[in-house]
Structure formats: structure tokens, C-alpha cells
Amino acid sequence: MTIATALAILAALGATSLLAGRLVAGAFRLRWLDPFEPTRAAASAVVGTMGLTVLYGRLSDRGLAAPRILALCALALMGLFVATLVQRRLHVLRPVGRPARWFWLGVALALAAAASLLPLLLAGGYDAGNDTYTYCAFSEWLQGHGFGEPATADPASPVTALSVNQQGRGFPLGAAFVLALARAARGDSSLVLYPLVSAWGVMLVACALWVAARWCLGLSWRLAAAGVIAFALLPHTVYWAHHHGFLSQTYAEAALVLALAVLARRWTRPAGGFSGVVLLALAAAYLVTVYLPFVPVLAAATLVSLAALEARRGGWTASALLSRVGTFSALFLLFAGFSLWSRFKGLLMLVGVTVGGLVPLRWGDWLSVGLGTAACASHGRLVGSLPGLVTPATAAALGLLALGVASTAASRRASGLTAALAVFAALVGYYALFVLDPWTGQRGHTWSVFKSVQWAYPLVFLLQLRGLCAVRRLGRLPLLGAAALVVALATAHAPWSRALGREMRTVIVSEHPYQEATRVRERLAGLPPGELLLLGRPAGRSVWLAAVSALLAHPRPIVADWQDSASLHASQSSSAAEAALEGFLRRPEDSGIIPLLAGFEPFDASGLEPLGGGFFRVRDTSRPLLVQVLAPRGQDDRPVLTDEGRTKLVFLSLHACAAEVRVSTAGAVPALRYQVIAGLVGGPAFRAAVRQTPPARTVAGPAPFRLRVDLARGLTTLALTADSPVPIVEVQVSAAR
């Protein structure tokens, strides 16, 4: 897929969500969303996404697959249009307002989209080695199934295991519903569509912040526009969640911020109570479907906000209380369905589950990440901007936050925002002070602190924006300084995105892996009928190669040795892979097995049919064939001989035979030791096999080295050891004379 096509798909996704939101406003007579001006348009985009997701969830619970749900969603939009037409509310589809306001909203969203897709633009890929696989696998399974249909794990279809696990947990990954709809509409692999759907989640957060700045903080449209543009430029945790596969988080943050804005609007438009109840019920049902951890936060914010509102008015009457609770409950059950126990059982499960990893940040770094002035990369390393800028920027951001807290502390209108932020602050304190880290055994659960800081950032940003408004009274100089800081901090996106984009090259071997992914998928689909067999062990190249291969091959059956592969269970298809290999060895031409190599850059491509992206089909097995190189990688990504015995060459042979292996190196190697082990072994099994086989033999002299080895039937591992690290230039194998 080209970048131009990707941008067009993203624009279509946004337009569909906006249309759905406007039709919901028209059909349900949500007067809070009248007229169709920029602030209501931003709110409508979030409402439309929530509505489509909730509708998908209800239909999927009934066992419907994504293509049928896509058709029913189209019918639902037509029905909403007819209802809007009958009520003579077509004005909800007619844009109004000053062009300048539309222009700056468009600029803010375009910047958010550009920053989200910067890994694709700068490095031709994105980081798919994370929870991306979870959402993509679920999306692929949903193309033929509904969440209400019991899932079964198929050894020849790795994506099915994820759905079985998710059903066991009792709740769906609701954000994947948007991805499943895009997959059904477009037909591309979920792996290709994922960064676009995820970018829309970031844009939704920007939309919700625009609305909250207007409704919750009471800012002018100019300040709201400036704030959202700053949000689009800063290297904050919302982008971290987007880049690292936390799709549910970004989609949920948009709904939570919009719900807080709705709570604030009740203070200025109390007569429009029905609109507020509908929007809150939809947001609550959406969060139950998409991200359960935010449900208690929204509940706390709602109770505090409404209690403060009614206290100002003198308290509730019994009839008013019953009316509000009854209307909300009926709408919530209509939107969320009646199978709520399994959802909240899933929430209890999430409380006790251990996920994530150690986040080794210093206190100053925690502040920078939490305040949006630096991004956290791998191993606790910060992605800063210009040298020496992060510290003063963090101090300024902390000062703005303090001013924002002071200026909103007594504001009943922002009571929901304050309550939600207080919940997140309590979570940070609880995990930092009272919970042991399972990875270090020390006090302070760093991953949970990190997640809580991420969740809180959009609310922190709103208070920083409120603090900036307080500083505005001092003149233009502080505003110009803040703008300069934002632009300078935005420079962190480029190096961060380049590093993220290059990650995809480890699983799809290409300078432009994102575009190559579509071609690989098409070529895999075009192979003759049969079961695909990945030779070797994909994890030897990358722990995520197996997952990516399974996604690109789906729905074709594919088996391999999944040992050490992320998100895949080694036991799921080990026996199936062994059976497929045995069947191919017996009858190579008519076994119905199609052997493949993945993540491979062959030294000798004869006998292989290139499929692109490091994928090859094995066509000629008349001679021994090198199928995998398991070795540390040098700076130019070439395999390297080491003195630790971690360099392994894996060969395929239809028959037991003697072979000659010729190894050329880039530098001098006085002696090369080698050991031949039958089968494909690695990790502890490799070390055990080394002890059980004859001792290593040594070949001395200048390169290239000629090794005579006895290959077993099937796969054979050749372990190499050198006295010093040297890159391997060439490997050739032939039958011994």
C-alpha cells in the first residue's frame, strides 16, 4: 500500500465517523450537537466512532462476522438519515461557522495524523512488535466469526488462539471492531490497516480535547485551536501508546475526555438534559466494550460532577433522581447489552493480572514523561528534543500544571475533570508507594505507574492549557515562549519515528516494509492450494516474525516451530509443523505442503522463488539447501561468527547425505570450530544437544572454510564458533563428492 492510499483510507475513516456522529445527532435530536460547526463536528467524530463500535459489539455478540456487520452498519446509517429527514433536521449535515475555525481544526488534525504516521513517512514502516498483533489477529478472526460464537484454536491458524483467550477473559477488544470494519471494507491485511486505524485514535483524542477546551474550560476557539495544535506537536504518552500497539487506550481516552466535556456542559445548558444522558450512556457502553479500566473513572467523575451540580441547585427530588437514573440505565442497557457480568468479571481479572515490564526511569524522567515534554523509548531511555531543552521545558510544564490546578480547583464546571484526574493521581500514588514491582521485588510497580501516567496525560494537558490562559494576562511574551518550546520539543518526533519505522525491517526485509507487506500478502495468497510450512525457527530472526507471517498468510493454514515467538504458543502447532515437514519429506511434489522461508536473505537463492520482504518459496530440493541463519547481527545486519557458539546454520535435505559447506568471512579467522546436530534446536535444547553429540571439530587456515558435514534427513543444525566476532560474507552448500 502506498502512502497516498493510506492517507485516503484514513480520510475515509474520519469522514465515515463524522457522518455517523452527525446522523446520530439528527436522529436522536441531540441538540447539544447542533449546529454543524467545528466544536460540534469534533464531538460528532468521537460520537460516530463510539456509535459504530457499540453497534458492532451488539451484532458481534450475536455471532455476526465483520462483512455482514459492515453491511448492517451501512443500513443503520441509512436508517438514521431517514429518521433525520423525517424530523426535518437535515441542518445537522450542513456545515456552518467561520472558515478560519474549520481551517485551524483541520490543521490540528492534520498535524496529529502526520505525527502518528511519521514512522511510515520517514522509514517506510512502523513498530509491529507489540500488541499490534493482538488487535490484528482478533480483527482477522472477526472476518469470519462473531464474538458471541465460541472460538476454537486451530493449530494451522495461529490467529484463532487469541480469540479463544479473549473469550475466556469475558470481554472483547472493542477497539479492534473499528479495525475489523476497515478490514472488511478495504480487504487489505489488518497488519497494513492497523497504523491508520491507530492514527485515527490519536486524532479522536485531539477532537475530544478541542471539545473539552471549549465546554469544560470555557476557552475561546483560538485558544482551543492553539492547544490542540500543541497537543499534536508534543512527544507525549498518547503517541507512545499509538506507536506501541495500545489501540484501546487511545480510543478510550477520546471517549473519557468527551464524557468529561459533556458533564461540564450540563452546567451551562441544564435544559438539554436528554442530550447529556444519551451521550453519557453511549460513552459508558463504549468504555465497557473498549477499555474496562476507564469505567470506574467515568463513574467517579459523573457522581462528583452531578453531586456538585445538584448541591448548587438545592438537591434532587425523588422524581428527578428516578428520571435521570432510569433514562440512563435504559439507554446504557440498550447500547451495552445485557451480558454485563462477563464484562465486569473481566475488570476484576484485569486488577490481578501482571503485564508489562520494568520501566527504569528516574524521578526527573517520570516528570518529563508525565508532563508531555519527552517520550519514553525502550529500556527507559528518553527521546528528547534539542540538547538541554527537556529540563527547562519540564519545569515550565510543571508550572503551567500548578496554575491550571489552582485556577480550576474551585470550578464546579470542571469538577468531573478534577475528579477523574484525582483518581489517576491516586492510582499513581498507590502503585508507586504500596505495590511491589514483580520484576525487581522493590516497592513501586513501575509499569502500572507508567500506565496510570499515560491515562492521565490528556487531563494533565487540559490543566496545562488552563494554566497557560492564566499566564496570558502577563502579555504575549509567555505565550511566544510556550509556542517556541512546543516547536522545539516537536523535533523529538523525527528520530523517534525513524527508529520505530526501522523495526518493521526485522520482520519484512525491505527498505519499504509497509508497502512490501501488501505485495507479500498477495503473493502468499496466490500460491497453489496447500498448507504453508515455515522452515526453521522464525524467532531466530525476530520474536515477532512468526506473528507477522501468520497475519500475512491468513486465512491460509500455516504451521511452523513457534518456539520463542512472541504472542504465539510453541505447543500450538509444534506437532502440526513436524507432521507437515514429514509429509513434505516423503512426497515433496504432491504432499500438499508448500515450504517457505521467512525473514531470510539467502547467500544462494538458487532453488528459491522470491515472494518479497524476505519471504521465499522453496522450489528445488534436489540438493541440500540452507534455510536459516541463526546468528547475532552486525551493524549492517549481516550475521556474525562469535566465540560463544551462537552462530547456527540450518540446512534442509530430503535424504541423509554428506555435504560440503563453504563459509566465507569478512575478516581473518585463524580457526573455525563446528559441530553438527541433527534437527532444529535452540535455547536449552541446543545446549543439551551439544553435550550429547561428538565434540566440535576444528578447521584452521584462511577463509573460505570448507566443512564436510553429515546432514540428517530433514533439518540439520551446524553450530559454528570463532575466536573473534567476524561477519559472514557467503555460505554455499553442495553434495559432497
Strand-pair partners of 630: 648
CA separation for the pair 717, 537 (Å, rounded): 11
- The pLDDT score that the predictor gives to residue 340 is 66
CA separation for the pair 646, 721 (Å, rounded): 7
C-alpha cell at 517: 507487506
Q: pLDDT (tens digit, 9 = 90+) per residue, 73-114?
A: 999 999 999 999 999 999 999 999 899 999 999 999 999 999
CB distance 602 to 626 below 8 Å: yes
Burial class for 470, CB neighbours closer than 10 Å (0-12, 13-18, 19+):
middle
Strand-pair partners of 709: 659
CA separation for the pair 552, 235 (Å, rounded): 31
- The pLDDT score that the predictor gives to residue 387 is 66
Mean pLDDT confidence for 42-53: 96
Q: pLDDT (tens digit, 9 = 90+) per residue, 481-518?
A: 888 999 999 999 999 999 999 999 989 999 999 999 99
CA separation for the pair 612, 518 (Å, rounded): 10
On the question of pLDDT at 396 being above 60, the answer is yes
Whole-number average pLDDT of the chain: 87
On the question of pLDDT at 352 being above 70, the answer is no
The maximal CA–CA distance of the chain, rounded, in angstroms, is: 99
Mean pLDDT confidence for 325-336: 83
Cross-sheet strand order for the sheet of 608-612 = 558-559, 531-534, 593-597, 615-618, 608-612
User: Sorting pLDDT into bands at 50, 70 and 90, what band is 315?
Assistant: low
Query: What angle separates helix 38-61 from helix 3-27, to the nearest 10 degrees?
Result: 90
Global pTM value: 0.92
Residues of the chain with pLDDT > 70, as a percent, come to 91
Q: pLDDT (tens digit, 9 = 90+) per residue, 7-27?
A: 999 999 999 999 999 999 999
Task: Tell me the three state secondary structure of residue 255.
Answer: helix
On the question of pLDDT at 380 being above 70, the answer is no
E-only strand ranges, 679-713: 697-700, 705-711
What DSSP line would sit under 1-41, residue for residue? --HHHHHHHHHHHHHHHHHHHHHHHHHTT-GGG-SBSHHHH
CA separation for the pair 443, 452 (Å, rounded): 16
Virtual torsion, Cα 559, 564, 570, 575, nearest 10 deg: 60
> DSSP character for 360?
-
Mean pLDDT confidence for 535-548: 88
When mean pLDDT is compared over 283-287, 337-341, 383-387, the highest value belongs to 283-287
On the question of pLDDT at 737 being above 80, the answer is no
C-alpha cell at 125: 514502516
Stretch among 9-13, 332-336, 503-507, 614-618 having the lowest mean pLDDT: 332-336
Burial class for 226, CB neighbours closer than 10 Å (0-12, 13-18, 19+):
buried
On the question of pLDDT at 303 being above 60, the answer is yes
CA separation for the pair 626, 647 (Å, rounded): 14
Rounded to 5, what percent of the chain is helix, strand, coil? 60, 15, 30
What DSSP line would sit under 54-104, residue for residue? HHHHHHHHTT--HHHHHHHHHHHHHHHHHHHHHTT-GGGGSB-S-HHHHHH
CA angle 58, 287, 193 (to 5 degrees): 75
On the question of pLDDT at 44 being above 90, the answer is yes
Better-predicted residue by pLDDT, 398 or 587: 398
User: What number of residues does the chain have?
Assistant: 737
